[in-house]
Amino acid sequence: MGSDLPVAASDLFQPVRVGDLTLANRIVMAPLTRARAGPGDVPGPLNATYYRQRASAGLIISEATQISPQGKGYAFTPGIYSDAQVEGWKLVTAAVHAAGGHIFAQLWHVGRISHPDLQENGRLPVAPSAVRANGQAFTESGFQPFVTPRALETEEIAAIVADYAHASVCARRAGFDGVEIHAANGYLIDQFLRDGTNLRSDRYGGSIENRVRFALEVVAAVTEVWGPSRVGIRLAPVSPANDIADSDPWGLFSHLVGELNRFGLAYLHCVEGHTTVSRAVPEGFDFARLRALFRGLYMANNGYTLDLALAARRQGLIDLICFGRPFLANPDLVARLANGWPLAEAPRATWYGGSGAEGYTDWPAHAADAAAA
């Protein structure tokens, strides 16, 4: 990921104000599911070490973290709703802060992207409508096909919004600097947004105005707890991840972004293209136009190289740059990019699961690597 462009001339490596926070640089560690939480979906000391090692990022966004037992869709992902989880996350936030970093919690409800084996009492996962996703859920006994979810009753939706508020309070108690609402990648909020998964006829379905209602209720509830300048939102407007589809992504997301402007959020985080797969953007959608519609900071993500990020920053297209995969095997990614040092690559087998340091916290910083050689 070495650069042909002058790194020193870019402000990507300079401090930046985000709301009332000053971040050390504009480089953000993306939310990365690692599936290494302990019993009770509680983070522990090893997770704290992992995040501390990466605290030179201007901002860390935590791995996606379920807001309730119902919001869980993968084995071994952490939660942010129980006292034990709050205590576990305190280890993480204290470690990141001691290393001079900042960290937001990513708030997550998977909706239909789950399985009865991951739900309390083997219940069906819930979704806006009873539309099954193609694909498989990662459960403790391996991959299992998704099931047809149960469509939420109108009266149940307020309780899920309240779960977002409760998780927001837990994130504050746990010492996070803010939260990011995960509205991307085909999970519950995205399922409400899209006409491929939202077939409702109540006030949460049908028109674009109705389909964005749940997202905006969640944003209102979370900003009520945190204040808007400590809340970001992640969208993936053109990604088909988790079998999500919509007939008019531009109409939908340009409207949503216009509505988000009412809140004064810390940032808008966009997955540009197909999450982790490609940066291709279908005709009719334009991220530069979306960014121009948003009154606030724009965080770009998905398959960026340093050169792409430098160029996008120089053209005024981005405010913050989010790197995911490169942070897996390069805890000191910021220094490696700034100095043109080589990057390590984490084999896919190390991405998810595992209980020890291997493939998780055993990636050395470049200087340590060089000293050992």
Least separation in angstroms between residue 185's CB and ligand 8OZ is: 4
**Count of residues of this chain found to bind ligand 8OZ when the rule CB under 6 A is applied:** 7
Give the alpha-carbon dihedral of 140, 143, 148, 152, to 10 degrees: 40
Shortest distance in whole angstroms from residue 133 CB to ligand 8OZ: 13
CB nearer ligand 8OZ, residue 24 or residue 110: 110
The nearest distance, CB 241 to ligand 8OZ, in angstroms, is: 6
Q: What is the DSSP letter of 236?
A: -
191 binds ligand 8OZ (CB under 6 A): no
- Min. distance of Cβ 33 from ligand 8OZ in angstroms? 4
Indicate the residue among 64 and 337 with the shorter CB distance to ligand 8OZ. 64
- What stretches of the chain show up as alpha helix (H) in DSSP? 45-53, 83-98, 157-173, 188-193, 208-211, 213-226, 249-260, 287-293, 306-314, 325-329, 333-339, 366-372
According to DSSP, residue 365 is labeled: P
As a whole number of angstroms, the distance between CA 263 and CA 266 comes to: 9
210 versus 276: smaller Cβ distance to ligand 8OZ: 276
Amino acid letter, 96: V
* Residue placing its CB nearer to ligand 8OZ in the complex, 184 or 212: 184
- Binding to ligand 8OZ by residue 74, rule CB under 6 A? yes
Check 74, 187, 204, 304 and give the catalytic one: 187
Tell me whether residue 274 or residue 336 sits nearer to ligand 8OZ (CB atom): 274
Question: Is there a catalytic annotation at residue 267?
Answer: no
Of 10, 33, 223, 254, which one interacts with ligand 8OZ (CB under 6 A)? 33
Residue selected from 56, 185, 198, 302 as contacting ligand 8OZ according to rule CB under 6 A: 185
Per-residue binder mask for ligand 8OZ (CB under 6 A), 256-295, x = binder: -------------------x--------------------
Q: Which H or E run contains 59?
A: strand 59-66
216-255 residues near ligand 8OZ, rule: CB under 6 A = 241
What tokens appear for 325 in the block? 């995969």
Rounded least distance, CB 115 to ligand 8OZ, Å: 13
48's CB contacts (< 8 A; 6+ apart) are: 91, 92, 94, 95
Give one DSSP letter per residue of 92-135, joined into a string.
HHHHHHHTT--EEEEEE--TTSS-GGGSGGGPPPEESSS-PPSS
CB closer to ligand 8OZ, 138 vs 363: 138
**64 touching ligand 8OZ, by CB under 6 A:** yes
Helices (H) and strands (E) counted in the chain, each on its own, are 12, 14
Give the list of residues 6+ apart from residue 216 with CB closer than 8 angstroms, or none: 259, 260
- Cα–Cα distance for residue pair 46/37, rounded to 1 Å: 9
| CB 275, min distance to ligand 8OZ, A | 6
Binding site for ligand 8OZ (CB under 6 A): 33, 64, 74, 184-185, 241, 275
Active site residues: 187
